[in-house]
Amino acid sequence: MPQYHQLGQIPHKRHTQFRKPDGTLYSEQLFSTEGFSSHYSLLYHCHPPTEIIKVDEPYSAAPRIAEEKMLKHRSFQGFNIKPVPDFLASRKAVLVNSDCQIVLAAPQQSMQDYFYKNADADELIFVHEGSGILHTQYGQLPFSYGDYLVIPRGTIYQVAFSDANNRLFIVESFSPIRFPKRYLSQYGQLMEHAPFCERDIRQPQHLQTIDEAGDFLIRIKKKGMMYPIHYAHHPFDVVGWDGCEYPFAFSIHDFEPITGRVHQPPPVHQTFEGSNFVVCSFCPRLFDYHPQAIPAPYNHSNIDSDELLYYVDGDFMSRKHVTRGMITLHPGGIPHGPHPGAVEKSIGAKETKELAVMVDTFHPLQITEEALAIEDKQYVMSWSE
């Protein structure tokens, strides 16, 4: 859980009168993704955040499922997703289940004519290429290569990119995205054995209050549909807020790998978790230091989870023909492991420069039409080379 944070002006006590210079009241809003049962923030608007002036026809934003069931190792060339100017149009769901959706995107333009709210899912956006600023009601979050942007469901935001060259790996989670429980004290502080700490978390800054009337379009995704709703005032009319529910950034480059004398299992790389899935960061690190250690991972049986690995940069000792943006999917039910020759080749190696994001899901992933269009169909036979 992020630490308590405050920006702008807020009243001394919550749920009390907080007046503008002209004597009228600011409009208080409680923001939480789990009702009144978990952490929250209180935002103070110049105008009520409820003033709808027009509603356009909704349209489908649901992924198109191509395969609901399968048992085969798969690989997808993520950078074959074509760049698209619009941010929302660029997002292509490739692997999905009832807990999360894996999305690839290559947007070329900043969001200017509308705002976006995902009312279904928390979003974890990994920035593979590109930089810019995430603008929200809570303030600004500058981002660049290697950043995770964690955006709670219901957050209204706009993304301003520095240029047209952007590649994003996105996890949409239908449950809150959290830090692993084993790294948290009973009070929510990241403990000493965690591979990162609160100093690594970047909170929103530079709150800008935009008190403007007009026609402001917010595209809201709910249950696979996109609802274009127009509001009478700018959604970033917040003069102040405080609490523990807000978007934040964490760089994969600030993850401190946990190593040992022999090969460490994937949970040491865990960075986030949701309901029925985990997210891990594989970062440059020293290899195992037992004199007879085998750095390459051992063969292991995926019985209760699908393993998805998104390759970011560097060399991967366990895989052949790895490309940037490549996704491998090893489904639950059959074992997998290093490619032929990788084990012997790894012996004696001192370190790895690999960088990757892994998502393990405990319910099977379904494959979309967008995924089939970028699949390497020969991958399943790559262990026989």
132: left (phi over 0), alpha (psi -120 to 50) or beta: left
Residues in the chain: 385
Of 32, 275, 265, 240, the residue nearest 152 (C-alpha): 32
Q: How far apart are CA 43 and CA 138, in angstroms?
A: 8
For residues 17 and 343, give the distance between their C-alpha atoms in angstroms, rounded to a whole number: 67
Closest CA to 359 of 128, 182, 97: 97
Residue 16 CB partners (closer than 8 Å, separation 6+): none
The question of whether 12 is a catalytic residue gets the answer no
300 is an annotated ligand-binding site residue: yes
In three-state secondary structure terms, 384 is helix
Annotated active-site residue in 263, 290, 321, 330: 263
Amino acid identity at 34: E
Q: Is 306 annotated as a binding residue?
A: yes
Q: Is 336 assigned to a binding site?
A: yes
The per-residue DSSP string of 206-225 comes to: -------EEEEEEEEEETTE
Residue 188 burial (CB < 10 Å; 0-12/13-18/19+)? middle
Which residues form the catalytic set?
263
Binding annotation for homogentisate: 336
Binding annotation: 300, 306, 336
Binding annotation for Fe cation: 300, 306, 336
